[in-house]
């Protein structure tokens, strides 16, 4: 009997020491040093997490630890018996860097700044997914981690389809789970204006509405009067109060919201309210189909800049982001070629080609926004008439624009369609997924992206700030559908953004994915279960 109980006791120790936790999460931390021997510390929900007193952000981080790990925030003191400590002071110039140490003293997180602590908590949160009960066994470990890029973005188009504010909050939660720190919010387009402008109250009220939407694809179906439309109005805009709350919500999660008001093209919705801002004078109506409109803002009408300055003034009032996205993509110059006002402006400014008119507007906007301490970023078409002095470039038509901009020492976000357009199909068999805009961007192809082109010199490479995936929503009709397009491709993108190239390994990534998928299910996030 004695021998049996000794055996049982030994077995109990072994069982207690066992843990399923490997810390091999997505994105994969830079270094995970497990201490051999399988010792564990117990993370008991209901025990304390000590944070530096009087640091509001660290209190908020402790509250995140409470939400995700079940520990209770307590201001740090000598008497503290907390199982977990969060602190600052890690010596690393990367503000998002952190270390996690699990040893016999407990769980200790140190960040280079508060954001680093936040990411450490995310790593622990993902590590313990699937661990049940109030007592979780954590193997001894030292994790050191920091993201590769400072700009880790994701774009959502809320113009083509309107997404309710509750979903925007959820979207931000999803971005935070994946270590994303920039939410690029595409707010206006031909098919809808979603930003409340108080000095132009008609704008969002009228241009935030379209009576119906083309059924299926434009291409092939677009046939004038015979075109099929649904009978569902698409309607909505975000009030400035709602936006301020979103910006704050995102900031707590170390996400900057970068708004985009696309100019001078993709403006038909605005033109429908202010037809005098178009070269022909209209009339215009909010588009109910997709594509690129020849009707853009008139570059020769002084009212255009007055309008834009009103809009961007209010944009800056609610979005503190340093970067303000001015769009600039897909703006045909056909109307400008035929418009007396535009041609007169070209003559006045001694411009040789219409593309330079776009640069003229960009420069005006750059100067205007600089007075407010902001900087412009635009799609790569902004290179065509020459970049304004301090503009940054979002390279979407491949890498070419980004390479050119970096060589000119302009900052660049890489977001080439072939790797980053998650509005594309994600499976080869189109019948197995909802209608999409086209293309084929499987998970593996997102994962394979390298944001820094080999042809850049080391010096030029420094201008590549990071990468971003874009979710355009012509064919993305609901929050569930948006999540399905986003995940798990965002998981692949987040390793592009976070993990050092030498540590990237697609097979290994696929082995780590099920734990994250389990989390998606638990949190009610829809995702594409098939993987290619």
Is position 307 an interface residue for ligand ACM (rule: CB under 6 A)? no
Q: Work out how close the CB of 476 gets to ligand ACM at its nearest, in angstroms, rounded to a whole number.
A: 14
Distance CA 263, CA 293 (A): 12
Q: Work out how close the CB of 292 gets to ligand ACM at its nearest, in angstroms, rounded to a whole number.
A: 8
Q: Work out how close the CB of 339 gets to Zn ion at its nearest, in angstroms, rounded to a whole number.
A: 3
Q: Work out how close the CB of 325 gets to ligand ACM at its nearest, in angstroms, rounded to a whole number.
A: 10
Distance CA 264, CA 331 (A): 6
What is the residue-wise DSSP string for 284-303?
----SS-S--S--B-TT-HH
Between 110 and 293, CB nearer to ligand ACM:
293
330 is catalytic: yes
Between 330 and 364, CB nearer to ligand ACM:
330
Distance CA 401, CA 412 (A): 9
Between 200 and 339, CB nearer to Zn ion:
339
Distance CA 211, CA 229 (A): 9
Is position 329 an interface residue for ligand ACM (rule: CB under 6 A)? yes
Residue 396 binding: pick among Zn ion, ligand ACM, none (C-beta 5-8 Å cut-off by kind): ligand ACM
Q: What are the tokens at 484?
A: 């399905």
Residue 74 binding: pick among Zn ion, ligand ACM, none (C-beta 5-8 Å cut-off by kind): none
CB-closest chain residue to ligand ACM: 329
Is position 396 an interface residue for ligand ACM (rule: CB under 6 A)? yes
* Nearest in space to 107 (alpha carbons), one of 59, 48, 28, 33: 48
Between 423 and 495, CB nearer to ligand ACM:
423
Is position 379 an interface residue for ligand ACM (rule: CB under 6 A)? yes
Please give the radius of gyration of the chain, using alpha carbons only, rounded to the nearest integer: 26
Distance CA 441, CA 437 (A): 11
Q: Give just the sign of the alpha carbon dihedral 351, 352, 358, 362.
A: negative
Is position 330 an interface residue for ligand ACM (rule: CB under 6 A)? yes
Between 84 and 405, CB nearer to ligand ACM:
405
Between 74 and 329, CB nearer to ligand ACM:
329
Asked if 123 and 100 touch (Cβ cutoff 8 Å), the reply is yes
Is position 475 an interface residue for ligand ACM (rule: CB under 6 A)? no
Interacting residue ranges for Zn ion, rule: CB under 5 A: 279, 298, 300, 339, 341-342
Between 55 and 358, CB nearer to Zn ion:
358
Q: Work out how close the CB of 391 gets to ligand ACM at its nearest, in angstroms, rounded to a whole number.
A: 15
Q: Work out how close the CB of 371 gets to ligand ACM at its nearest, in angstroms, rounded to a whole number.
A: 27
Residue 379 binding: pick among ligand ACM, Zn ion, none (C-beta 5-8 Å cut-off by kind): ligand ACM
Is position 185 an interface residue for ligand ACM (rule: CB under 6 A)? no
What is the residue-wise DSSP string for 317-357?
HH---SEEEEE--S---HHHHH-HHHHHHHHHHT-SSTHHH
186 is catalytic: no
Total interface residues for ligand ACM by CB under 6 A? 4
Residue 298 binding: pick among ligand ACM, Zn ion, none (C-beta 5-8 Å cut-off by kind): Zn ion
Q: Work out how close the CB of 186 gets to ligand ACM at its nearest, in angstroms, rounded to a whole number.
A: 9
Is position 64 an interface residue for ligand ACM (rule: CB under 6 A)? no
Between 106 and 327, CB nearer to ligand ACM:
327
3 state DSSP class of 106: strand
Residue 25 binding: pick among Zn ion, ligand ACM, none (C-beta 5-8 Å cut-off by kind): none
Q: Work out how close the CB of 308 gets to Zn ion at its nearest, in angstroms, rounded to a whole number.
A: 14
423 is catalytic: no
User: Annotated catalytic residue: which of 230, 330, 375, 532?
Assistant: 330
What is the residue-wise DSSP string for 227-242?
--B-S--EE--B-HHH
Distance CA 204, CA 235 (A): 10
Is position 384 an interface residue for ligand ACM (rule: CB under 6 A)? no
Distance CA 220, CA 291 (A): 13
* Nearest in space to 321 (alpha carbons), one of 248, 212, 404, 262: 248
Task: Report helix, strand and coil shares of the chain as percent, to nearest 5.
Answer: 40, 20, 40
- The angle that helices 506-523 and 489-498 make with each other, rounded to 10 degrees, is 120
User: Annotated catalytic residue: which of 178, 184, 186, 266?
Assistant: 266
Residue matched to tokens 């009087």: 54
User: Annotated catalytic residue: which of 146, 157, 189, 366?
Assistant: 189
Surface-to-core class of residue 211, CB atoms within 10 Å of its CB (0-12 exposed, 13-18 middle, 19+ buried): middle
Binding positions for ligand ACM, rule: CB under 6 A: 329-330, 379, 396
Catalytic residues: 189, 266, 330
């Amino acid at each position: 009997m004695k021998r049996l109980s000794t055996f049982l006791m030994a077995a109990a120790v072994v069982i207690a020491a066992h843990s399923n936790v490997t810390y091999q999460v997505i994105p994969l931390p830079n270094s995970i040093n497990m201490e051999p021997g399988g010792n564990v510390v117990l993370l008991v929900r209901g025990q304390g997490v000590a944070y530096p007193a009087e640091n509001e952000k660290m209190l908020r981080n402790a509250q995140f630890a409470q939400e995700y790990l079940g520990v209770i925030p307590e201001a740090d003191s000598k008497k503290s018996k907390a199982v977990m400590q969060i602190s600052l002071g890690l010596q690393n110039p990367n503000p998002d860097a952190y270390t996690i140490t699990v040893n016999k003293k407990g769980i200790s997180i140190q960040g280079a700044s508060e954001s680093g602590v936040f990411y450490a908590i995310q790593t622990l949160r993902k590590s313990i997914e699937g661990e049940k009960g109030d007592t979780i066994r954590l193997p001894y470990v030292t994790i050191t981690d920091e993201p590769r890029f400072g700009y880790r973005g994701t774009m959502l188009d809320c113009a083509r389809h309107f997404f309710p504010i509750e979903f925007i909050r959820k979207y931000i939660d999803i971005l935070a789970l994946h270590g994303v720190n920039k939410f690029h919010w595409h707010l206006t387009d031909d098919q809808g204006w979603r930003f409340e402008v108080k000095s132009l109250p008609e704008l969002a009220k009228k241009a935030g509405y379209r009576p119906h939407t083309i059924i299926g694809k434009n291409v092939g179906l677009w046939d004038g009067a015979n075109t099929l439309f649904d009978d569902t109005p698409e309607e909505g805009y975000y009030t400035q109060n709602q936006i301020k709350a979103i910006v704050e919500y995102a900031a707590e999660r170390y996400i900057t919201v970068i708004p985009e008001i696309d100019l001078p093209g993709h403006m038909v919705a605005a033109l429908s309210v202010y037809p005098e801002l178009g070269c022909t004078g209209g009339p215009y109506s909010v588009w109910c189909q997709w594509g690129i409109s020849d009707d853009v803002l008139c570059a020769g009408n002084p009212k255009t800049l007055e309008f834009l300055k009103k809009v961007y003034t209010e944009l800056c009032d609610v979005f503190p982001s340093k970067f303000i996205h001015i769009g600039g993509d897909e703006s045909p110059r056909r109307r400008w070629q035929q418009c007396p006002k535009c041609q007169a402006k070209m003559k006045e400014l001694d411009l040789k080609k219409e593309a330079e008119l776009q640069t003229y507007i960009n420069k005006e906007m750059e100067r205007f926004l600089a007075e407010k301490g902001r900087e412009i970023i635009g799609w790569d078409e902004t290179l065509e008439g020459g970049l304004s002095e301090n503009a940054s470039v979002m390279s979407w038509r491949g890498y070419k624009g980004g390479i050119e901009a970096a060589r000119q020492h302009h900052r660049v976000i890489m977001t080439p369609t072939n790797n980053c357009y998650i509005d594309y199909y994600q499976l080869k068999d189109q019948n197995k997924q909802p209608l999409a805009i086209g293309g084929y961007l499987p998970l593996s192809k997102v994962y394979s992206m390298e944001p820094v082109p080999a042809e850049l010199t080391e010096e030029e490479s420094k201008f590549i700030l990071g990468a971003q995936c874009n979710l355009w929503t012509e064919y993305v009709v609901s929050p569930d559908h948006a999540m399905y397009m986003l995940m798990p491709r965002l998981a692949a993108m987040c390793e592009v953004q976070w993990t050092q190239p030498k540590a990237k390994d697609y097979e290994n990534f696929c082995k780590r994915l099920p734990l994250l998928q389990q989390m998606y299910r638990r949190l009610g996030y829809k995702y594409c279960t098939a993987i290619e």
